[in-house]
């Protein structure tokens, strides 16, 4: 009898199946907090420990630098610290830089962090006034065109049907796109999406380079796969080549980037692209206490893509709070007071988050928390190492490191950073001053952590090497404090206590969400938000901006209440059997609303498909399923039916 491998302990049976599936394609479909990320990191570590996966040949991919950083620390803790865990962008950038001399002339182009200045020029050159909002919306549209892999003609055709930035008609938008491309070429710069686009092109046209990349990376793992864009999917397929060592995990109900061209169709289509793919579903949410699961399920019940309900682990917790305030300032003040009380009661500031729909909502909360002396972290780690103050700090540490590297590391770093104006206390001011202080404090904290973890004094040179390594991975340190983040940035993360603010019509759902699809994306975003909480959840909104009125609570709040009334009204005593699940006749998703059940199709699938055609498709699908002994769900390709 052999005992269980230590890396499989602490996994439930389904998670264990994931960890042990080390050959061939694998799809893990499961709800929020069910341990998808945990199962996949254990799979990598277990594969590495047993020799099934060579850690040098594994590439683990995520979508945000914070998530990549999280994954690296989880892997390190499991003894698989040599595995590369990166965002698509960072992995692509590294390869592009490396191979650049082999396919291009001249030095590597400059990367632009912000599109806005170039977009502004492009917009002006076609005679449109470069208002801030116009430039912002046009930049988003440019990104959409790039990540959707739309050529000029396809885009021109698609633009007719898209809601474009105000004052920009489809023809003008096409001209702006062309002009933007020309300006980049003239200036020899690449933007964020170009990094992936250029690399994809190179891998498609240069077999020697593709072969070298294939030799390096042999096993691919992708977290949050529901948010993959066509461009990222294309690149992933180039990386994979003809091989099939691919494990993806995702939750269709958490698709929140469709506005940027992402789509869960790749997640659902994977079993079609890889017919040998095994699908595993995780069933239990380990993250949240029961009252939070109740709220999450009430939201899920209303989303158009909810094949599942979350099942918790019976952990008890306080009932989620729903509170309306007179105005925005009162809301910020009250939330800060609640947070201060939580910290007073012993909760760590780092275990608390304030989440909002748009970044502009953060200012009042920053002010209210500062006024109470509560530490907070505003920005995520994005582009940390590109910040001016961080570059300056590293340069000055480098210069100081030759001077016979004797005080403890953290004391040295404090002294050096004090010379460029850093102080231990947070500044009262917000904005750039606060952000600069936050960046420098993050470096001080990292120095302290590094020193505390080491039995011997850490030389400054070793600390700088650690920073260089982190810069290369874009793995930013942060200060310990209450997290203030947009819901988009909070994806994949969790906190003991979550305060979701601004839950009103116009903010959540956001005012420009108009179509049923837009609203459903907002609902999924709301679902992502509430499922970040482990123990405590509070939702709040205000009646108006200042002493104002006119705002209504979000429809999502009334939906939760309505769902709960339905659940509460269910007859007591012996439970009536649950209604038989009805699946969409086209895509086989579980139908959740009565309207969908009556139609026999989910809201996404076309109603106009001729019934005879549909029957034929269903027949074909069942035959295929029978043939391959896979569940019907696995052999269906939605796009095929749509055509
Ligand atoms: P999300 O959809 O938000 O990305 P997820 O499915 O990736 O969530 P994880 O973040 O991996 O979920 O796990 C959620 C929480 O549950 C984590 O705190 C994790 O440590 C814990 N957890 C997962 N599986 C188990 C388990 N088998 N036993 C105990 N705790 C678990
Ligand atoms: Mg996760």
Mutate to test the pocket of ligand 1, among 286, 306, 310, 490 (most ligand atoms within 8 A of CB): 286
- What percent of the chain is modeled with pLDDT above 70? 86
For residues 129 and 107, is the Cβ–Cβ distance under 8 A?
no
Averaged confidence pLDDT in the chain: 85
Q: Which residues, at least 6 apart from 410, have a Cβ–Cβ distance to it below 8 Å?
A: 444, 447, 448, 451
Determine whether the annotation assigns residue 423 to a binding site.
Answer: no
Using the mean position of ligand 2's atoms as its centre, give its distance from the Cα of residue 63 in Å: 11
Do 83 and 58 contact (CB within 8 A), yes or no? yes
How far, in Å, from the CA of 249 to the mean position of ligand 1? 13
C-alpha Rg value of the chain to the nearest Å? 26
- CB 225, CB 250: distance < 8 Å: yes
Q: Which residue from 33, 223, 533 has its CB within 8 A of the most atoms of ligand 1, so it is best to mutate?
A: 33
Q: Considering only CA atoms, which residue is closest to atom 14 of ligand 1?
A: 33
User: Which tens digits make up the pLDDT trace of 313-369?
Assistant: 999 999 999 999 999 999 999 999 999 999 999 999 999 999 999 877 888 898 899
- Cα 620 to Cα 490, 623, 642: the distances in Å are 42, 5, 15
Please tell me the predicted confidence (pLDDT) of residue 357. 92
Whether the ω angle into residue 359 lies within 30 degrees of 0, i.e. cis, is no
Helix (H) or strand (E) holding 281: strand 278-282
**ipTM, interface predicted TM-score of the complex:** 0.99
Copy the structure tokens of residue 19.
């960890």
Ligand-binding site membership of 506 (annotated) = no
CB atoms within 10 A of CB 374: 20
Q: Is the pLDDT of residue 555 over 80?
A: yes
Number of residues that make up the chain: 643
Q: What span, in angstroms and rounded, lies between the C-alpha atoms of 296 and 473?
A: 34
Sheet strands (E) in 326-467: 352-356, 376-377
| pLDDT of 238 strictly over 80 | yes
Residue 33 marked in a binding site: yes
Tens of pLDDT along 418-469?
A: 999 999 988 877 677 888 888 899 899 889 888 887 888 889 998 998 888 7
Q: Give the residue carrying structure tokens 């500044």.
A: 427
CA of 629 to the centre of ligand 2 (A): 30
Q: Give the DSSP per-residue string, 217-270.
A: --EEEESSGGG--HHHHHHHHHHHTT---EEEEE-GGG---GGGT--THHHHHH
68 Cα–ligand 1 center, Å: 16
Beta-carbon count within 10 A of 186 CB? 9
**pLDDT, tens digit, for every residue of 190-229?**
998 899 999 999 999 999 999 999 999 999 999 999 999 9
383 or 101, higher pLDDT: 101
Which residues lie across from 355 on neighbouring strands? Answer: 485, 500
CATH class given for the domain over 290-380+482-569: alpha beta
Higher pLDDT, 599 or 176: 176
Beta carbons of 636 and 588 less than 8 angstroms apart: yes
User: What integer pLDDT is reported at residue 406 of this predicted model?
Assistant: 74
Question: What distance lies between CA 452 and its chain's CA centroid?
Answer: 31
Backbone conformation region of residue 453, classed left if phi is above 0, alpha if psi is from -120 to 50, else beta: alpha
Q: Are 17 and 56 in contact (CB under 8 A)?
A: no
Distances in Å between the Cα of 549 and the Cα atoms of 116, 321, 361, 626 are 34, 22, 17, 60
C-alpha 3: how far from chain center: 37
User: 35: Cβ below 6 Å to ligand 1?
Assistant: yes
Which helix H or strand E contains 271, and what residues bound it? helix 265-273
Asked whether the beta carbons of 139 and 116 are under 8 A apart, the reply is yes
Whether the per-residue pLDDT at 404 is higher than 70: the answer is no
Structure confidence at residue 1 as a pLDDT band (50, 70, 90)? very low
**Ligand 1 touching residue 534 (CB < 6 A):** no
CATH number for the domain formed by residue range(s) 6-94+196-282: 3.40.50.300
User: What angle separates helix 88-103 from helix 207-216, to the nearest 10 degrees?
Assistant: 140
Output the pTM of the full model. 0.78
Q: Are 147 and 258 in contact (CB under 8 A)?
A: no
Extended beta strands in 78-206, E state: 84-87, 110-111, 189-190
- b/e per residue, 48-65, with b = 16+ CB within 10 A? bbeeebebebbbbbbbbb
Q: Can you tell me the mean pLDDT for 240-249?
A: 95
Task: Tokens for 618, please give them.
Answer: 């269903």
């Amino acid at each position: 009898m052999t005992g269980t491998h230590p890396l499989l302990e602490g996994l439930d049976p389904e998670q264990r199946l994931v960890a042990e599936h080390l050959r061939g394609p694998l799809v893990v479909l499961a709800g929020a907090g069910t341990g998808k990320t945990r199962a996949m990191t254990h799979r990598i570590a277990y594969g590495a420990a047993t020799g099934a996966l060579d850690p040098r040949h594994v590439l683990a991919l995520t979508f945000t630098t914070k998530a990549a950083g999280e994954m690296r620390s989880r892997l390190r803790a499991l003894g698989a610290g040599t595995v590369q865990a990166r965002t698509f962008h960072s992995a692509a950038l590294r390869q592009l830089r490396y191979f650049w001399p082999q396919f291009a002339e001249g030095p590597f182009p400059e990367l632009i962090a912000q599109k806005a200045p170039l977009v502004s020029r492009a917009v002006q050159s076609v005679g449109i006034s470069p208002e801030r909002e116009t430039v912002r919306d046009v930049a988003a549209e440019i990104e959409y065109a790039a990540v959707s892999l739309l050529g000029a003609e396809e885009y021109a055709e698609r633009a007719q049907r898209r809601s474009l930035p105000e004052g920009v008609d489809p023809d003008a938008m096409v001209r702006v796109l062309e002009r933007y491309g020309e300006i980049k070429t003239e200036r020899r710069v690449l933007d964020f999406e170009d990094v992936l686009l250029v690399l994809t092109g190179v891998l498609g046209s240069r077999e020697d380079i593709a072969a070298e990349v294939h030799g390096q990376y042999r096993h691919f793992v992708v977290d949050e796969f529901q948010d993959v864009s066509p461009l990222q999917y294309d690149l992933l397929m180039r990386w994979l080549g003809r091989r099939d060592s691919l494990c993806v995990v995702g939750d269709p109900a958490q698709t929140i980037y469709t506005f940027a061209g992402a789509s869960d169709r790749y997640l659902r289509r994977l079993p079609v692209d890889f017919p040998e793919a095994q699908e595993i579903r995780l069933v239990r949410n380990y993250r949240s206490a029961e009252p939070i699961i109740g709220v999450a399920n009430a939201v899920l019940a209303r989303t158009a893509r909810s094949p599942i309900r979350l099942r918790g682990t019976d952990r008890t917790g306080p009932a989620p709070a729903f509170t309306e305030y007179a105005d925005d300032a009162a809301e910020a003040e009250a939330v800060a007071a609640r947070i201060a009380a939580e910290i007073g009661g012993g909760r760590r500031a780092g275990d608390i988050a304030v989440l909002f729909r748009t970044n502009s909502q953060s200012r009042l909360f920053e002010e209210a928390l500062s006024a109470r002396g509560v530490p907070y972290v505003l920005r995520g780690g994005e582009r940390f190492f590109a910040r001016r103050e961080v570059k300056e700090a590293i340069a000055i540490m480098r210069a100081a490191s030759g001077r016979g590297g004797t005080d403890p590391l953290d004391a040295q770093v404090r002294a050096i950073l004090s010379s460029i104006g850093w102080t231990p206390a947070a500044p009262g001011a917000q904005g750039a001053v606060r952000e600069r202080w936050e960046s420098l404090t993050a470096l001080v904290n990292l120095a302290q952590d590094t020193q505390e973890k080491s039995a011997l004094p850490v030389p400054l040179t070793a600390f700088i090497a650690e920073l260089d390594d982190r810069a290369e991975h874009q793995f930013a340190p942060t200060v310990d404090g209450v997290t203030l983040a947009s819901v988009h940035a909070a994806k994949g993360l969790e906190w003991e206590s979550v305060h979701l603010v601004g839950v009103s019509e116009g903010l959540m759902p956001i005012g420009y969400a108009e179509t049923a699809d837009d609203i459903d994306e907002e609902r999924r975003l709301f679902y992502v938000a509430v499922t970040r909480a482990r123990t405590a959840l509070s939702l709040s909104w205000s009646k108006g901006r200042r002493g104002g009125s006119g705002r209504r609570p979000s429809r999502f709040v009334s939906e939760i209440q309505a769902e709960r009334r339905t659940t509460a009204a269910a007859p007591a005593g012996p439970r009536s059997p649950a209604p038989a699940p009805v699946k969409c006749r086209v895509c086989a998703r579980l139908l959740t609303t009565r309207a969908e059940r009556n139609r026999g199709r989910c809201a996404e699938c076309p109603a106009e498909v001729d019934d005879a055609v549909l029957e034929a498709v269903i027949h074909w699908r069942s035959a295929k399923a029978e043939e391959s002994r896979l569940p019907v769900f696995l052999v269906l390709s939605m796009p095929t039916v749509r055509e």
